[in-house]
Structure 1
Amino acid sequence: MSSSEEIKPLCKTSVSNEVVVRFDNVTKTYNLYKNDRGRFLGIFNYNKKGAFLGSVDANKSLSFEIKKGEAVAFLGCNGAGKSTALKMVTGVTHPTSGIVDVKGRVSALLELTAGFDMQLTGRENISLRGQILGLKRSDIKEMEPSIIEFAELGLYIDQPMRTYSSGMKARLGFAFAVAIEPEILVVDEALSVGDRAFQKKCIERIREIMTDENVTVLFVTHASSSAKEFCSRGIVLDQGTKVFDGGIDEATAYYESNF
């Protein structure tokens, strides 16, 4: 999200007392293997000598609560554990230990093309994703025209997704993610979709969702300026652990002085 864009400040005027995201002593451990064969055998607790390289805790004893309507920035360097934590919010991955409790429909602008079936058409993938989320067929049909219009795919919407460019896949993924009226929105600031004109449209749509008082926003960023613009609270992560949690000005000051 370019700092050169003229953007009106975002401010939510109210936050509910209802907790919609809760992490209770959450640890996510990844086992590292020398190759895919070793990784496969590891599923059955059998490891040939030298195949298992060790374990890494992407998140360690992580605890926090986020209330409905909050806009929270997750700050940290590469490898701090931001994306892993938010993947657990979206359900893409699960904790090794601890409890992750999420209440509400989650839309993630992280890995836009994950979950698509490349053999199906774009239109068929809209239906597939909607069904996975538990949407009614009538709701999916109602959403479909706006998704197709936003993605700007034209006749390609009825072509197999294996024929799409990476940009076309990302545009469809974004269009679907912002069409489902999320209660919890997970946004990666590094998100870059399509050409400059389409990126501007994406930013405007994200901003529109983020100003909704009922939508909870979890915002992944490296930039203090973006965090201050979009969020009122910041959680700073370092090597998988929470090292600061507070108001956005204090959080960004801590981040800037320590990293």
Structure 2
Amino acid sequence: MLALKAENISKQYRLGQVGTGTLSHDLNRFWYKVRGKEDPYLKIGEANDRTTKGESEYVWSLQNINFEIAQGDAVGIIGRNGAGKSTLLKLLSKVTKPTTGKIYSNGRIASLLEVGTGFHPEMTGRENVYLNGAILGMTRKEITRKFDEIVDFSGVERYIDTPVKRYSSGMYVRLAFAVAAHLESEILIIDEVLAVGDAEFQKKCLGKMGDVTKGEGRTILFVSHNITAIKELCNAGLLLEKGNLVTQGDINKCIIEYQKNSDIKFSYDYSNDNVRVENDKILVKSYKAEPINGDMINIKSGIIITVTFMCKLKDVDIDLSFFLKNSHDLTVMSTGIMVSQNKNSEKGDYTVSFEIPPYTINEDSYYFDFFWGINRSDIAFRTELFGFEVHGMQNQFGEIIKSPGILFPRITHKVEKI
């Protein structure tokens, strides 16, 4: 059974204007409509790319979005800043209308889009709980039945009869989340608001959202830049980029695609790339990841990672540390090597290689931090620009082969002075 369905929804904004813009534009739209013609302003506008200066005053925050969300799904909406995530949630919450397309929903929707959304600042916490419940169409009796549970979860019992305008941002979001999660709505929409709460409350919220989907069968749409939280909570995903829906479906595939579309470089050579990865101590000249066996990196090929860099320091100890992370931002292995010791470093080029043995890591996109240290104390340089992808393998039954996972993999390394 479907909880939400979006059919070809788009949202256009006119920069510097509130609503549809000017009276002349509204009259022009009306004139085209009565003649049975298409809105002329739908033919203009640019994608919402914040990194470039546009030529049009019209911007498409979302374009031609289509998806279906089943009842009981926990859907993570991911993408860079400006991708259209918050705009999509506002459309689904009916805070604003789409420029084109239709949205179908089955059930009441509770939204937590910004800190304190839906709260009246002059009213107390208690009054706002009842106000939010009434907006959702609940009776006073239904709200009263849930009231003690809401206050207990929020942890603001002492201030429940204080006007919320005197609440801190943390107290605001605690009470707002407690109301949204406990009142009886079939669909719960949550924007990146949990960042306001402390670590303990974030963990508590994630646990509650897990209970809501798995135990109560309610539908959750969750926007967050915390990929680990998305991975733990969600079973499905939507990946947005510059207002377009790039990938939808399994959350792991969406996360991997998101990582691949980030600024991570899968190969690098400073003589060919426009990027210069350096500071006054280290210049990274090239990087590559290659299979030890075969012509493609997969779980049985093994991986050799090679980085060539120029050391601009003389007569110091230089060490290089390597921290490998997966697409969920979890560190899966780390190692380190002394490039020079006994304070005998020379200015010039070095090549360092790391070998990861076969059957160590699974299908995923990976990236890593390199830390260059000086005299075992100070960090000379750090970069997390580089990464690689491990391709999946199937057995004879069509199942994805999983690595057994070596608890303490032996990562060999080698240093050469060029």
Tell me which interval the TM-score lies in, with the shorter structure as reference length.
0.7 to 0.9
Distance (whole Å) between structure 1 residues aligned to residue 204 and residue 234 of structure 2? 20
Instruction: State whether structure 2 residue 3 is matched by structure 1 residue 20.
Output: yes
Partner of 2:15: 32
Query: Structure 1 89/75 Cα, relative in aligned 2: closer, same or farther at 3 Å?
Result: same
Higher strand share: 2
Q: Name the structure 1 match of 2:250.
A: 247
Q: Distance in 2 between matches of 1:109 and 1:131?
A: 16
Q: Secondary structure at the match of 2:58?
A: strand
Q: Secondary structure at the match of 2:160?
A: helix
Instruction: Indicate conservation of the 8 Å contact 1:69/1:215, yes or no.
Output: yes
Match of 2:127 among 124, 147, 158: 124
Q: For the structure 1 residues 99 and 147, does the alpha-carbon distance in structure 2 shift closer, same or farther, using more than 3 Å as the test?
A: same
* C-alpha separation in 1, matches of 2:160 and 2:176: 12
| Residue 75 (structure 2) pairs with residue 80 (structure 1) | no
Alignment of 1:151-230 (within 5 A): 151-188=154-191, 191-212=194-215, 214-230=217-233
Deviation for aligned residue 1:97: 1.3
Deviation at residue 195 of structure 1 after TM alignment: 3.3
Tell whether the 8 Å contact from 2:63 to 2:244 is kept in structure 1 after alignment. yes
Larger fraction in helix: 1
> How many Å separate the matches in 1 of 2:228 and 2:204?
21
Structure 1's 127 and 245: CA in aligned 2 closer, same or farther, altered over 3 A?
A: same
Q: In the aligned structure 1, how far is the partner of 2:95 from the partner of 2:118?
A: 10
Aligned pairs for 1:89-168 (under 5 A) are: 89-168=92-171
Measure, in 2, the Cα distance between the counterparts of 1:213 and 1:83. 25
Write the deviation string for residues 57-83 of structure 1: whole angstroms up to 9, x where unpaired: 111111111111222222211111111
Query: Which is bigger in relative contact order (C-alpha 8 A, separation at least 6)?
Result: 1
Change (3 A) 1:135 1:45: farther
Change in 2 beyond 3 A, CA 1:171/1:71: closer
User: CA RMSD, aligned part only?
Assistant: 2.5
Which one-letter code corresponds to 1:212 in the other structure?
Answer: G
Contact 1:109-1:191 within 8 A present in 2 as well:
no
* SS of the residue 1:158 aligns to: coil
Aligned residues: 233
Q: Specify whether residues 131 and 43 from structure 1 end up closer, same or farther in structure 2 by C-alpha distance, changes over 3 A only.
A: farther
Shift, 1:46, TM fit: 7.7
Other structure's SS at 1:128 match: helix
> In the alignment, what sits opposite 1:5?
none
Alignment of 1:56-75 (within 5 A): 56-75=59-78
CA distance in structure 2 between the partners assigned to 1:158 and 1:170 by the alignment: 16
Q: What letter is aligned with 1:95?
A: P
Per mean C-alpha deviation after superposition, the further-off stretch among 114-123 and 192-201 is: 192-201
Give the deviation of 1:105 after TM superposition. Answer: 2.1
State the TM-score, normalized to the length of structure 2.
0.51
**SS of residue in 2 equivalent to 1:85:** helix
CA distance in 1 between partners of 2:161 and 2:226 (Å): 39
**Cα separation, partners in 2 of 1:247 and 1:195, compared to 1, 3 Å:** closer
> AA paired with 1:30?
Y
Which piece of structure 1 moves more, 38-47 or 229-238? 38-47
Query: What amino acid does structure 2 have at the position aligned with 1:19?
Result: L
Q: Helix, strand or coil: the match of 1:178?
A: helix
User: Which one is further off, 75-84 or 219-228?
Assistant: 219-228
> 5+ residue gaps in structure 2?
27-55, 263-418
Q: Quote how far apart the aligned CAs of 1:203 are.
A: 2.5
Deviations 1:133-184 (A, max 9, x none): 1111111222222222222223321122222222222211111111113322
Equivalence for 1:9: none
Q: Which amino acid is the alignment partner of residue 237 of structure 1? A: L
Letter in 2 for 1:236: L
| Identity percentage of aligned residues | 40
Distance 2:123 2:179 in 1: 16
Which amino acid is 2:5 matched to? R
Name the aligned partner's letter for residue 107 of structure 1: A
- Relative to the length of structure 1, the TM-score reads 0.80
> What amino acid sits opposite 1:218 in the alignment?
L
Larger Rg: 2
